[in-house]
């Protein structure tokens, strides 16, 4: 605004000077004697006025260049300040947002609020299913045996096979199990019958032994009686054999 006003004032002054010069010429032309002097004077004045105008134009150009440089420098300073202020504001806002997020997280943890509660249902479902899948994968990985454990298990199995400690597979070898069961049942029956026969024999042997012993005792007793002198018949003992029924 200052530059425009100064330029307008300089143009007005130039017009006034040209108007003054033209009026002097008209007044001087009325007298024939002073025409030449007036013309010379007017020419000198016009040259002086032109010099003054050129000087003023140069000064005005210098002023304009200085003011433009000052204005550009001021604008640069203003822009730098504005950019610095914007950066400061952005840093402050970022710090403020971080503080707010930390406060919200702390408040949520204290209150027991579920994180990501404001998410959409679809996103929440996706996150939920992903979490379940990861849990299942971890469980399967935990149940799986490592290569070293598999090798150790195989070695133990081979050792049991060599020692004959492997359990029979009932589903694959039913016929063999049935034959073995028949053999076992037959062995148990024969053993039981043999035990019964042995008991019977023992009892019979005991009976025969008792009878033989009684017979021996009676014979010995009869021999002693026979060796004694004869007495009446009433003292004689008659052997009475019991008939077995």
131 or 48, greater pLDDT: 131
What phi and psi values does residue 33 have, to the nearest 5 degrees?
-75, -35
Going 6 to 9 to 15 to 20, the CA torsion angle's sign is negative
pLDDT tens, residue by residue, 22-35: 454 444 444 444 44
Give the mean pLDDT of the chain: 66
CB 14 within 8 A of CB 54: no
| 23-28 contact pairs (CB < 8 A, 24+) | none
pLDDT tens, residue by residue, 46-74: 445 555 555 455 554 455 555 556 666 66
CB 146 within 8 A of CB 138: no
Six token digits for residue 224: 């002693």
Six token digits for residue 47: 């040259």
Q: Whole-model pTM?
A: 0.22
pLDDT tens, residue by residue, 148-179: 888 888 888 888 777 766 666 777 778 888 88
Residues sharing a CB contact under 8 Å with residue 221, sequence separation 6 or more, in sequence order: 237
């Amino acid at each position: 605004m200052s530059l425009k006003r100064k330029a307008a004032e300089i143009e007005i002054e130039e017009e006034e000077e040209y108007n003054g010069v033209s009026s002097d010429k008209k007044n001087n032309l009325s007298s024939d004697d002073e025409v030449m002097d007036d013309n010379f004077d007017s020419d000198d004045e016009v040259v002086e006025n032109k010099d003054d105008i050129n000087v003023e134009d140069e000064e005005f150009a210098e002023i304009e260049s200085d003011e433009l440089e000052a204005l550009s420098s001021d604008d640069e300073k203003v822009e730098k300040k504005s950019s610095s202020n914007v950066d400061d504001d952005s840093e402050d806002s970022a710090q403020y947002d971080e503080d707010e997020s930390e406060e919200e997280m702390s408040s949520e943890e204290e209150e027991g609020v579920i994180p990501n509660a404001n998410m959409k249902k679809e996103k929440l479902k996706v996150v939920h299913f992903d979490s379940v899948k990861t849990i299942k994968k971890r469980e399967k990985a935990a149940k799986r045996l490592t290569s070293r454990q598999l090798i150790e298990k195989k070695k133990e199995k081979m050792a049991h096979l060599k020692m004959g400690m492997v359990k029979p597979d009932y589903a694959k070898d039913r016929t063999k199990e049935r034959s073995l069961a028949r053999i076992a049942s037959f062995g148990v029956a024969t053993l039981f019958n043999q035990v019964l026969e042995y008991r019977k024999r023992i009892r019979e042997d005991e009976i025969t032994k008792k009878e033989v012993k009684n017979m021996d005792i009676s014979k010995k007793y009869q021999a002693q009686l026979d060796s004694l002198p004869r007495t009446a018949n009433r003292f004689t003992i008659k052997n009475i054999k019991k008939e077995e029924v």
